[in-house]
Amino acid sequence: MDALQQGFLDADQAMLHDDSLKDELAGTTAVVIIIKDNALYCEVSLHVSHSLLMSSDRMKPRSGDWVVMIDFLQETTNGEQFHPTEIRTSISPSSAVELNTTSALANYATEGNVGDSRAVASVNGSVNVLSLDHKPSNEIEIKRIQAAGGWVEYNRVNGNLALSRALGDFVFKKNEKKKAEEQIVTAFPDVEIRKITYDWEFVIMACDGIWDVMTNEEVVEFVRMRLGTGMDPEDICEDLMTRCLAPDCQMGGLGCDNMTVVLICFLHGKPYEELVSKCNTTGNGDSPFAKY
């Protein structure tokens, strides 16, 4: 847990010392899930809208985002040498991965997040929320913001920023008397550790462009229904974003935000068809979310 928290802070510092990022009047949320035994490292929305899924040894580190991510992964594996391979990247903000593990009962999922990106699991069709949205109106956030010299007005940090933890947004991190985790806006994450059982079906990781439009229950039902028809997971991600997209963004509002989605399916050593069969419980049209 400590390593994951330090990894977020180190990634934030790397951005601060990047000439192309340090003066940006903007930031980003992030949600990370690490399943160590199966070497799945998943990152959402770190500086640019792409997803990064990796599991073995062929990727050569490059500059910019890749260096930040490799440093982050080295930190979160307690200093162990990390050799990512079989990397799959996508400039498209949606992606999917099937995690085929035969030892899920021995695995623990570690999740960390800053901001209002969110991770939600489907466990036997029930919603299991893995992250906490960091909003300025939360009591813990208000105390830290005020202690660092800031204030909350109209549910915004200093009347400006709508979330209270983020990578970047360095204009809110200039109190030299405070540690990184004590700044008005901090990159210090909340971390959740969950044991993965055979009841785990999938995890959805997405930014607020999704969660502002649909509830946790609606998203899980939306995904589960489509998995039950045998739809390709990546197509489900695209479908979900289309569902959340406003028909007309000229006026702004819900459905006009940027969207990033990652769907992680747990196969537990069995064919994808087994997951399809398990999720095929809404094919009779009786679901209250059938319209989605």
Residues in the chain: 292
Of all residues in the chain, the percent with pLDDT exceeding 70 is: 65
pLDDT band at 217 (very low <50, low <70, confident <90, very high): very high
What is the Cα–Cα distance from 263 to 206, expressed in whole angstroms?
9
Tell me the average pLDDT across 186-203.
Answer: 84
pTM over cut 0.85: no
Residue 55's closest CA among 92, 12, 89, 90?
89
**Does the pLDDT value for residue 281 go beyond 90?**
no
Strands (E), 13-115: 27-28, 30-35, 40-44, 51-54, 88-90, 94-99, 108-114
Highest mean pLDDT among 2-16, 134-148, 181-195 belongs to 134-148
pLDDT at position 182 over 70 = yes
Q: What are the DSSP calls for 208-257, one per residue? A: HHHHTTS-HHHHHHHHHHHHTTT--HHHHHHHHHHHHS-S--TT-STT-S
Residue 20 predicted with pLDDT over 50 = yes
Lowest mean pLDDT among 138-147, 166-175, 188-197, 234-243: 188-197
Q: Which range, of 70-74, 148-152, 166-170, 215-219, averages the lowest pLDDT?
A: 70-74
Structure-derived torsion over alpha carbons of residues 254, 8, 155, 24, reported in degrees to the nearest 10: -80
pLDDT computed for residue 67 by the predictor:
46
**Token pair recorded at residue 11:** 């990634």
Sign of the four-CA dihedral 211, 217, 218, 222: positive
User: The tokens 């994450």 sit on which residue?
Assistant: 189
Highest-scoring range by mean pLDDT, 4-8, 36-40, 98-102, 165-169:
165-169
Positive or negative, the CA dihedral 76, 80, 81, 86 is negative
Question: What integer is the mean pLDDT of 94-110?
Answer: 48
pLDDT at 143: 96
Give the SS3 label for residue 132: coil
Residue 9: is its pLDDT beyond 60?
yes
Q: What whole-number distance in Å separates Cα of residue 23 and Cα of residue 169?
A: 9
Nearest one of 272, 176, 261, 177 to 213, comparing CA atoms: 261
Is 90 exceeded by the pLDDT of residue 276? yes
pLDDT at 162 over 60: yes
Q: CA–CA separation, 66 vs 22, rounded Å?
A: 17
| Token pair belonging to 72 | 């982050």
> Percent of the chain beyond pLDDT 90?
25
CA distance 13 to 152: 25
What does the radius of gyration of the chain's CA atoms come to, in whole angstroms?
19
Question: Higher pLDDT residue, 266 or 56?
Answer: 266
Position 76 pLDDT exceeds 60: no
The arithmetic mean of pLDDT across residues 83-104, rounded, is 44
pLDDT band at 215 (very low <50, low <70, confident <90, very high): very high
Mean pLDDT of 38-55: 34
Query: How many C-alpha atoms does 152 have within 13 Å on its Cβ side?
Result: 19
pLDDT at 268 over 80: yes
Q: How far is the C-alpha of 15 from the C-alpha of 23, rounded, in Å? A: 10
Q: Give the mean model confidence (pLDDT) for residues 267-285.
A: 79
**In Å, how far are 136, 156, 165 from 140, measured between CA atoms?**
9, 14, 12
pLDDT band, residue 119 (cuts 50/70/90): confident
Mean pLDDT of the chain: 73
**Adjacent-strand bridge partners of 122:** 127, 202
**Cα distances (Å, whole numbers) of residue 36 to 15, 71, 80, 95:** 25, 16, 12, 20
